[in-house]
């Protein structure tokens, strides 16, 4: 039986909700995740929209992404992801305004291993390891926040 895990963690970002939600799009993440270079298949210009398809990584980390749900009004996104050498699952981003200048971001991963190596990889998506990964996201965003807020993220 394949290993399966679900993990959720929340972070607070000092940004208005409309801008903050865009930080978690493929184009937005390229501004704060070192080495994040999506290859866009639909739409080819990388515009964020429901149904977009893109890939990231290489080798065992090659991942195919599909933006299954994208609602800028409710600040919700859900991605399907398949890393054939490792695992498959979904990533959900839910943003909720805490004030005019602060947004709570809930990040949830649900993953199932596809291979023995994938079972090993899921350890980083469990418990304290997952929380630390998402807290690192917050540190990276915070360190680039002025530029992110000024960016016109598609």
96-118 pLDDT, tens digit per residue, is 999 999 999 999 999 999 999 99
How much is the average pLDDT of 50-67? 97
| Domains identified in the chain, total number | 1
Q: Are 25 and 48 in contact (CB under 8 A)?
A: yes
The CA angle 51-124-80, to the nearest 5 degrees, is 10
Q: Which residue has the tokens 């805490």?
A: 98
Task: Give the pTM.
Answer: 0.94
Q: What is the mean pLDDT of residues 27-54?
A: 95
- The CATH number of whichever domain residue 107 belongs to comes to 3.30.530.20
Q: Would you state the structure tokens that stand for residue 89, as one six-digit string?
A: 């699952």
Number of Cβ within a 10 Å radius of residue 87: 25
Say what percent of the chain tops pLDDT 70. Answer: 99
Residue 111 exposure: Cα atoms within 13 Å on the Cβ side: 26
Residue 97 lies in domain: 4-150
Determine the average pLDDT of the residues in 17-27: 95
Q: Which two structure tokens, joined as six digits, stand for 61?
A: 């980390």
């Amino acid at each position: 039986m394949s290993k399966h895990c679900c993990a959720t963690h929340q972070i607070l970002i000092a940004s208005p909700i409309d801008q903050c939600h865009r930080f978690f799009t493929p184009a937005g993440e390229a501004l704060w995740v070192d080495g994040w270079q999506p290859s866009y298949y639909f739409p080819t210009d990388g515009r964020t929209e429901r149904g977009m398809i893109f890939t990231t990584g290489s080798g065992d980390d090659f991942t195919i992404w599909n933006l299954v749900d994208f609602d800028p009004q409710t600040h919700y996104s859900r991605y399907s992801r398949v890393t054939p050498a490792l695992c498959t699952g979904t990533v959900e981003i839910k943003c909720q305004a805490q004030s005019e200048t602060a947004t709570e971001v809930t990040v949830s991963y649900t993953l199932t291993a596809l291979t023995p190596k994938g079972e090993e990889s899921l350890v980083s998506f469990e418990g304290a390891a997952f929380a630390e990964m998402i807290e690192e996201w917050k540190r990276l965003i915070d360190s680039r926040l002025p530029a992110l807020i000024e960016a016109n993220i598609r």
